[in-house]
């Protein structure tokens, strides 16, 4: 019996999504609840599970199509087992043969054809970000061991494989897949020399949304950034002294983010405007702190939320952050994970950033930017000493937050980090 698979409910106020990739092809056997497709919404990638066991009969939409909630995605022949037969198998065969012909037409040489075909076949189960990384680095995805969910490849896996290939003396450029669009310099009259490649990739729905929201923040808010620097000696000393006991008791690593999250809670309590937002002609204040933590995911930056951070201890905050990071890498964050948030912390220091002007996450009115720690000469008690220093940046909506309030909030965070005891006695 044929069973229709439709676009599921995607979350509050989310009415449509883009088909990111098909995880199962026509003719493939599927089990109950096994993911068959990945849909990209404004914030997350959502996997669509099969409601029945059987064989995937056909795709009703293609990768890149926009689909609404309730739209038909695929048809599954319920109860069938093993490989497909009949029309389903013929259709799958035709699709493979068509792809084979396209690859043969584009191959420049037998050696490159082999690489291209292997990359093409393996790429059918890759996410858009991983697929693009494969094309950029010219690696064969079928030879890489995935570290993501269910052994799937991540962008980091591809980058590491490319670096290993370089270290081994191979040329990544020599193995570039033929799917990349090549510009023939000879056509421009240079005597037939070629080599410069160009690739056009459609923006994912998530990247489009990020672009719109960030541009909207610039257009609608009066953005300003205030800076300070922070001596990290006390926090580093505390981590060094207690990290083993902390890990043993809580089964989680003691990081820096817990300190900054708790310090931010102190600042937002004393400067409530930094934990508020503008709605029409009103200012909406919160008596709680939900901290959005900027996390890098394969498809772009996501901001899952630590709920009630002001009421949580260091261990719970660190566990939440570790869970967010792991699920962002696997692409399993949900809409609920990123809903709301009253204040954001973005740590560019993990990528080596010395200083930046972070942009607010609408409708929030402030964001704290963290940066790399480096030894710098500073004056303490009239003497020049070397201390581990970090630049802090607080970007804020000047329509709501005055300069004095912004400077005060950042100063409270700085003082709490330089003297962590303040966080224990609420100073």
Question: Which of the residues are catalytic?
Answer: 398, 402
Residue 147, SS3 per DSSP: coil
Roughly what angle, to the nearest 10 degrees, separates helices 155-167 and 128-137?
Answer: 10
Nearest to 178 by CA among 108, 282, 98, 277: 108
How many residues are present in the chain?
427
C-alpha–C-alpha distance, residues 53 and 80, integer Å: 7
- Type and span of the H or E element at 384: strand 383-397
DSSP string, 259-296: HHHHHHHHHHHH-GGGG-EEETTEEE--SS--EEE-EE
Residue 240: both structure tokens together: 């060094």
C-alpha–C-alpha distance, residues 164 and 131, integer Å: 18
What value, to the nearest 5°, has the Cα angle with vertex 249 and ends 244 and 253? 50
| DSSP code at position 7 | P
Q: What is the CA radius of gyration of the chain?
A: 26
C-alpha–C-alpha distance, residues 372 and 354, integer Å: 6
Tokens 């240079």 — which residue? 190
C-alpha–C-alpha distance, residues 120 and 102, integer Å: 11
Residue 242: both structure tokens together: 């207690």
- Type and span of the H or E element at 387: strand 383-397
C-alpha–C-alpha distance, residues 139 and 156, integer Å: 13
Q: 291-293 and 343-347 as β-strands: parallel, antiparallel, unpaired?
A: parallel
Residue 315: both structure tokens together: 């261990």
Q: What is the dihedral of CA 246, 251, 254, 258, to 10 degrees?
A: -110
């Amino acid at each position: 019996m044929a069973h229709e698979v439709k676009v599921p409910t995607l979350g509050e106020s989310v009415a449509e999504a883009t088909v990111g990739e098909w995880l199962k092809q026509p003719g493939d056997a599927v089990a109950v609840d096994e993911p068959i497709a990945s849909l990209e919404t404004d914030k997350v990638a959502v996997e669509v599970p099969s409601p029945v066991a059987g064989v995937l009969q056909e795709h009703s939409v293609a990768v890149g199509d926009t689909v609404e909630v309730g739209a038909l995605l695929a048809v599954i022949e319920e109860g069938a087992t093993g490989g497909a037969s009949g029309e389903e198998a013929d259709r799958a065969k035709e699709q493979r043969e068509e792809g084979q012909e396209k690859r043969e037409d584009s191959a420049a040489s037998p050696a490159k054809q082999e690489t291209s075909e292997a990359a093409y076949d393996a790429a059918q189960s890759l996410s858009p970000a991983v697929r693009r990384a494969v094309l950029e680095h010219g690696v064969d995805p079928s030879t890489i061991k995935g570290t993501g969910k269910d052994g799937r490849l991540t962008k980091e896996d591809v980058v590491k494989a490319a670096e290993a290939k370089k270290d081994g003396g191979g040329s990544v450029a020599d193995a570039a897949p033929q799917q990349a669009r090549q510009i023939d310099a000879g056509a421009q009259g240079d005597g037939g020399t070629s080599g410069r490649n160009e690739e056009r990739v459609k923006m994912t729905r998530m990247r489009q949304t990020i672009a719109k929201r960030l541009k909207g923040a610039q257009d609608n808010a009066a953005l300003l950034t205030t800076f300070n620097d922070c001596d990290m000696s006390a926090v580093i000393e505390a981590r060094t002294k207690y990290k083993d006991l902390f890990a043993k008791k809580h089964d989680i690593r003691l990081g820096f983010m817990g300190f900054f999250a708790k310090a931010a809670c102190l600042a937002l309590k004393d400067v409530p405007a930094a934990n508020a937002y503008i709605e029409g002609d009103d200012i909406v204040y919160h008596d709680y702190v939900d901290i959005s933590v900027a996390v890098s995911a394969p498809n772009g930056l996501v901001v899952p939320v630590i709920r009630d951070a002001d009421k949580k201890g260091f261990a719970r905050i660190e566990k939440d952050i570790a869970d967010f990071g792991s699920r962002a890498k696997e692409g399993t964050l949900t809409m609920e994970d990123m809903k709301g948030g009253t204040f954001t912390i973005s740590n560019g220091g993990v990528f080596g950033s010395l200083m930046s002007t972070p942009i607010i996450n609408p409708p929030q009115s402030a964001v704290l930017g963290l940066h790399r720690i480096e030894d710098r000469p500073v004056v303490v008690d009239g003497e020049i000493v070397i201390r581990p220093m970090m630049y802090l940046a607080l970007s804020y909506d000047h329509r709501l937050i005055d300069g004095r309030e912004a400077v005060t909030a950042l100063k409270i965070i700085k003082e709490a980090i330089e003297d962590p005891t303040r966080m224990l006695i609420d100073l």
